[in-house]
Chains A and B, each alone.
Chain A
Amino acid sequence: MPTRIPSAFSPPGTSGASPLPPGSPTEPTVRAGWLRVVDQVGDFWIVGVLAIMVAIFGILAPALFTRGAWLSISNYSVEYLILAVGQMFVILTGGIDLSDGAILGLSGMVSGAVMQSMLAAHDGNVFTTIVGFVVALVVGAAVGFANGFLITRLKLPPFIVTLGSLTAIGAAPSLINGGTEISNLPPQISTLGTIAIGGWIYVTFLTAVVVAVGFGLLLHRTRFGLRTYAIGSSGLSARRAGINVDRHLVWVYTLSGLLAGLAGMMVMANFNVANPLSGQNDELDAIAAVVIGGASLFGGRGHMLGTFVGTMIISLLVTGLVLVNVNGSWTEVATGIIIVAAVAMDQVRVRLAER
């Protein structure tokens, strides 16, 4: 297999130019030993990893199975799950969105500033909240659209464009409200962040799960989803099949921005402030969740369930390590190891598939 560079690092349309070398017969052959086991575990081995982690943490710290621990884990996962869903669409096309954490921060601050001034003008709380949501979603979608536009029209690598967005937009929240957090928000915002249905399911977590399920259906059951995979699998083949690849990519980046805007509102609801530092480095966790979930950075492969599990693994690590009294910095060490292990596992499976 020739070494491929993820197309996120090259302009759109230049990768995957030769989708399939015809030849190199790949008739299924009998595989031996542990390789066969790896193959049979299939796409969902990561679910098993999550189960094993739950078991280990549960044995070391039975407090894991309490309501408090669950609320902590699920609450932590909200912003990463929403970001990871958008990030996944981008990664499936062979791209990458480094700016989604920055978009989260920007849309939260812009929305907070708008709501603050609306409250100062004595607008109604509910109306203000609705406008706040719309503003956050529009800001997010607009930045995402700009990313997609630059990537497809100027034929720039997604890595570069979104790195630029990350840098430029990452600084913007500090220019709003003097760079201080905005806490004068409608009470509905904090209510949204504190209500837990039946005492177990935060509304924000439910929102994130609904987003994951909804966009999972979009990905796995609709034409839009199929074409997202197709573009990542072979951009040239998708073009030849008559798909407007550029327009599709603009939609995908817009979607990622839109979801980052939604995540911005969820973070605001959780802390009941709009914080200019929100979202910093979140893109790395979102990418990690997608990759741990089995999606290929080369595009074309991955499942929404994997991304969900990947997010839960990261969230479980954070809470679990606290429960077993380990320094929080080990979370990042563990996450890093899991990322590399997940990709290594993926490579083994790719090589198996090519035999």
Chain B
Amino acid sequence: MTSDQSAPDHGHPGTRAGITESGDGKVPVISVEGISKHFGSVQALRGVDLEVHAGEVVGLVGDNGAGKSTLVNILSGGLQPNSGVIRIDGKQVSFTSSLGARRMGIETVYQDLALAPDLSVWANIFLGREEVVKGPLRAFGWLDRRSMIASAQTDLERTRIRIGSVGSAAGRLSGGQRQAIAVGRAVAWGSRVILMDEPTAALGVEQQERVGELVANVASQGVPVLLISHNLPQVYRLCHRVAVLFQGQVVANLRPRDCTVEDIVSWITGAALGTKP
């Protein structure tokens, strides 16, 4: 396991990296500038600017149709923007698939978690980036199960996630535990930034709390989190900063410690636009 923090191809598959402490707070870990996207005549995004710095939890909120999912899809490699630039550590990047985005260090925790329920926890963490043994059996893609099981355990311990056994099938675990696997996987792959798409939409109150702890914990270890959520009280509680999308643009960057939930709502609905500059 390496912790090569300066290499630009930091998070490419096959290179597992530790949780990084990089970022001096000046150069954003990820930034998007002037991202636009239209579907036919519908302009979904009109020049979105957004920065996420190391250790930050940034909420991305907005009403339905504001462009949240379009932006998330662009950042996770599912869609290509019509114009605009994405930078990681100040360096311009481009990618055309979810694998490409991950190679650039952008890990996405999908709303449906993207787990294979029949596979064990460790297999889910390593799926697509499996470790194979050295020696002649390598030619057959012989899995290095021992190594992967051990790494999976370490990964999950580091994120303070309690899973009974990394050998259990993911589908047998609770919703909170599955969420934890998806987050743990994103963190384990040494990503530069983690996108979380509605991570608690389907969870109970107690499990929402756990996920909240997880997000804070991840960010405190240096990996910034971009949290897309409808759950405003949660966003307000967890995030250092809240970016509000309105009609395809980021219209406000709010700091929860300086504003109220009602302030955020007024930006989401556009009401604030009429009263503030």
Chain B hits for A19, CB < 8 A: 112-117
Interface residues of A in 228-246 (CB under 8 A from B): 229-230, 232-234, 236-243
* Docked-complex contact B127 and A226, CB < 8 angstroms: yes
Across the interface, name the chain B residue whose C-beta is closest to A299. Answer: B118
Chain B hits for A20, CB < 8 A: 112-113, 115, 117, 170-171, 178
* Docked-complex contact B174 and A240, CB < 8 angstroms: no
Q: How many B residues touch A, CB cutoff 8 Å?
A: 41
Asked if B129 is at the interface of the complex by the 8 Å CB criterion, the answer is yes
* Docked-complex contact B140 and A237, CB < 8 angstroms: no
Which of B199-207, B227-235, B237-245, B261-269 contacts the other chain? B199-207
Chain B hits for A236, CB < 8 A: 112, 114
Most buried by B among A27, A233, A240, A243: A240
Across the interface, name the chain B residue whose C-beta is closest to A241. Answer: B128
Task: Tell which of A28, A222, A300 touches B141, judged by Cβ atoms closer than 8 Å.
Answer: A222
Asked if B119 is at the interface of the complex by the 8 Å CB criterion, the answer is yes
Task: Tell which of B118, B123, B143, B178 touches A222, judged by Cβ atoms closer than 8 Å.
Answer: B143
Interface residues of A in 97-120 (CB under 8 A from B): none
Separation of A170 and B129 alpha carbons in the complex (Å):
41
* Docked-complex contact A233 and B98, CB < 8 angstroms: no
* Docked-complex contact B116 and A234, CB < 8 angstroms: yes
> Which residues on B are within 8 Å of A, measured CB to CB?
13, 98-99, 102, 108, 110-119, 123, 127-130, 132, 140-143, 145, 169-176, 178-179, 201-204, 207
30 A-B residue pairs with CB within 8 Å: A19-B113, A20-B115, A20-B117, A20-B171, A21-B202, A22-B112, A22-B113, A22-B201, A22-B203, A23-B202, A24-B175, A25-B174, A26-B172, A221-B143, A222-B143, A224-B140, A224-B141, A230-B119, A230-B127, A233-B117, A234-B116, A234-B117, A237-B114, A238-B127, A240-B108, A240-B110, A241-B129, A242-B98, A242-B129, A300-B117
> Which residues on A are within 8 Å of B, measured CB to CB?
18-28, 218, 221-224, 226-227, 229-230, 232-234, 236-243, 300-301, 353
